[in-house]
Amino acid sequence: MALDDGWYTEEWAGQGSAISLKIARKLHEERSPYQTIEIYETESFGRLMTLDGLVMVTDRDNFIYHEMMSHPALFTHPHPRRVLIIGGGDCGTLREVLKHASVEVAEQVELDERVTRVAEQYFPQLCASNGDPRARFHFEDGIAFVARAAPDSYDVVIVDSTDPVGPAAGLFSEDFYRNCLRALAPQGLLVGQSESPLFHPDLIEAVHRAMRTAGFREVAMLHFPQCTYPSGWWSATLAAKDAKLPRFRETAAADRPFPTRYYNAAVHAGALAVPEYLRKSLA
Amino acid sequence: MALDDGWYTEEWAGQGSAISLKIARKLHEERSPYQTIEIYETESFGRLMTLDGLVMVTDRDNFIYHEMMSHPALFTHPHPRRVLIIGGGDCGTLREVLKHASVEVAEQVELDERVTRVAEQYFPQLCASNGDPRARFHFEDGIAFVARAAPDSYDVVIVDSTDPVGPAAGLFSEDFYRNCLRALAPQGLLVGQSESPLFHPDLIEAVHRAMRTAGFREVAMLHFPQCTYPSGWWSATLAAKDAKLPRFRETAAADRPFPTRYYNAAVHAGALAVPEYLRKSLA
């Protein structure tokens, strides 16, 4: 069958595959200084935000990504107080970070302020914590921000970026990771989204190598389903500044005083299981 | 963008979403007594088999499904000797089952012999163990086969079925599970594919209930990525006949003398982690 015009389709670049979501109507379209931002009402996935034609977030499945970009790192650090989010313009990761009572400040550095403003309008639940007094917003280039950050400024840095093309490519570089390392305090952790284990194993390996070469002492992959991202399977890469990655705070994760929908202590442990075909290359 | 005619598209029924694979050419099409069987050469997923227009198997991603339908059950049973596979016509699950040296006989009951014959022609690697003297093929209705199976005949029953519509609907019923229970020997295990945790949580809950009502003592979900199945995320449900599900044989899994690509002991443990939103309903 061929799909009619009532579908939004993202072709998964270089992978001979595509996902389509049935659209009820387009709610918004604008050209920001950086990209085209579109919002759709879909038939079965709630609202959808795309940037330059690529799926960023849907109401239905974003909970997995946002929880897995935040809670594993925050339950691995012994006492995360200062968190830096690079990217993350839809504010879903920020919302999860701010669920942690130990967090005193969460700074978010998003290049495109319009992404956040549009998210505030169309994804109010993701932006529910934007008014939290611990949240600070910077709308500028994350690479430059980290390059000039004071040493030992953050306990956790989260790179919630778009794909490694265009302005986001630098967020996957050894130079950037070296600046993150410097900005992190002792016991600091870096976590970055690192694409699909099925489609992009070479990228995941390259991220591991670059983080190690930049000086991170130990690097680990987390993986989780993410229906509307390429292959439906996604990863994050977690790195420890100055020691082996500690075992995560399992009791605190199990007893967390806030709700989650995907994350729990067992899911956290399970997400660290490396598929056999990646074991050697990530060792 | 809209996709041109060079794509195979499966609309995910009732989910307002679809996956598409870019096609190089169609290799085969036939109408068997039960369904339309098509084989395509894709651009990036190797060969693709569809039944009545639904993706069954691709060269690129079938390893995850086949390994997760077999090894978790076989490494949970203390000594699996007699295995029954219901469905499984592409023979990929059978191949994985026969990797276990303890298995003395693996019977496969596939309704449509043409699926297996076409798989032998177009997916020879999945059928590499079809000539194993321990393999026995029955081409008939699996529901009737299990209904007349002698009690205590099998150590593990694997239901490697299509979706719960049409002839396969009965493979998700309490009556069928009751017959499986009877056919299983003491310590016996049943495992069945149980659709997407994102799209079909109600079905997964119904399968759990039906297995328990049929008399299985404990039921657990396994989940894993599966790019070309609806939502890219899939599940299997594992049930124990007459005792709590034992902890799996972790050392044997770690020391398995055969190759796998996705499965290993850590992946096995991780696949049992129940996402938070399913915890209460599956408890």
CATH, range A62-282: 3.40.50.150
Share of chain B above pLDDT 90, in %: 94
A161 is annotated as contributing to ligand binding: yes
Alpha-carbon distance values, B65 to B12, B203, B236 (Å): 18, 18, 9
Does the CA dihedral A121-A125-A127-A132 come out positive or negative?
positive
Residues of chain A with CATH 2.30.140.10: 2-58
Which amino acid is present at B55? V
What is the residue-level pLDDT of chain A in tens, covering all 283 positions? 678 889 999 999 999 999 999 999 999 999 999 999 999 999 999 999 999 999 999 999 999 999 999 999 999 999 999 999 999 999 999 999 999 999 999 999 999 999 999 999 999 999 999 999 999 999 999 999 999 999 999 999 999 999 998 888 999 999 999 999 999 999 999 999 999 999 999 999 999 999 999 999 999 999 999 999 999 999 999 999 998 888 999 999 999 999 999 999 999 999 999 999 999 889 8
Annotation-wise, does A232 bind a ligand? no
B-chain residues within 8 Å CB-CB of A263?
Answer: 276
- Asked if B271 reaches chain A (Cβ–Cβ under 8 Å), the answer is yes
Which of A 226-245 lie inside 8 A of B, CB atoms?
226-227, 231-233
Chain A 6-25, residues with CB within 8 Å of chain B CB atoms: 7, 9, 11, 14-22
Alpha-carbon distance of B217 to B230, in angstroms, equals 30
Q: Do residues A134 and A105 touch, judged by C-beta distance below 8 A?
A: yes
Shortest distance, CA B152 to any CA of chain A (angstroms):
34
Residue B232 marked as a ligand binder: no
At A13-26, the pLDDT tens digits run: 999 999 999 999 99
Answer whether CATH 2.30.140.10 is correct for domain B2-58: yes
- In this predicted structure, what is the pLDDT of residue A283? 84
Q: Which two three-digit tokens encode residue A212?
A: 């190690």
Q: How far is CA B155 from CA A52, A186, A222, B68, B172, in A?
A: 53, 53, 34, 17, 20
- pLDDT on residue A1: 61
Is A141 known to sit in a ligand binding site?
yes
Contact residues on chain B for A279, CB-CB shorter than 8 A: 264
Q: What is the pLDDT of residue A3?
A: 87
pLDDT at B1 over 70: no
In whole angstroms, give the CA distance from residue B266 to residue B247.
13
Mean pLDDT along residues B115-136: 98
| Number of residues in chain B | 283
Closest by CA to B159, choosing from B87, B51, B100, is: B87
CA dihedral B26, B30, B34, B40 (to 10 degrees): -10
Q: How far apart are CA A117 and CA A149, in angstroms?
A: 25
Name the closest residue on chain A to residue B271, using Cα atoms. Answer: A270
Distance CA B50, CA B20 (A): 12
Using a cut of 0.95, tell me whether the model's pTM lies above it: yes
* B225 contact A CB<8A: yes
If you average pLDDT over residues B270-278, what whole number do you get?
A: 98
* ipTM computed for the complex: 0.96
Cβ under 8 Å to B: A residues 169-208: 197-198
**Contact B194/B239 with Cβ under 8 angstroms?**
no
Q: How far is CA B74 from the centre of its chain?
A: 13
Closest chain A CA to residue B1: A9
Q: Report which of B268, B270, B255, B221 is spatially closest to residue B100, judged by C-alpha positions.
A: B255
Token pair 């076409």: residue: B118
User: Chain A residues with CB inside 8 Å of B38's CB?
Assistant: none
Instruction: Return the higher-pLDDT residue of B13 and B59.
Output: B59
CA atoms within 13 A on the CB side of A51: 25
Closest of B158, B161, B121, B113 to residue B137, by C-alpha:
B113
Q: Which residue of B has its CA nearest to A61?
A: B198
Interchain contact, B267 vs A261, CB within 8 Å:
no
- Within 34-73 of B, beta carbons closer than 8 Å to A belong to 42-45, 53, 60-61
Interface test with B, best of A10, A15, A17 (most B CBs within 10 A): A17
Four-CA torsion A17, A10, B230, A6, nearest 10 degrees = -120
- C-alpha to C-alpha distance for B210 and B217, rounded to whole angstroms: 12
- Closest residue, chain B, to A270 (C-alpha): B270
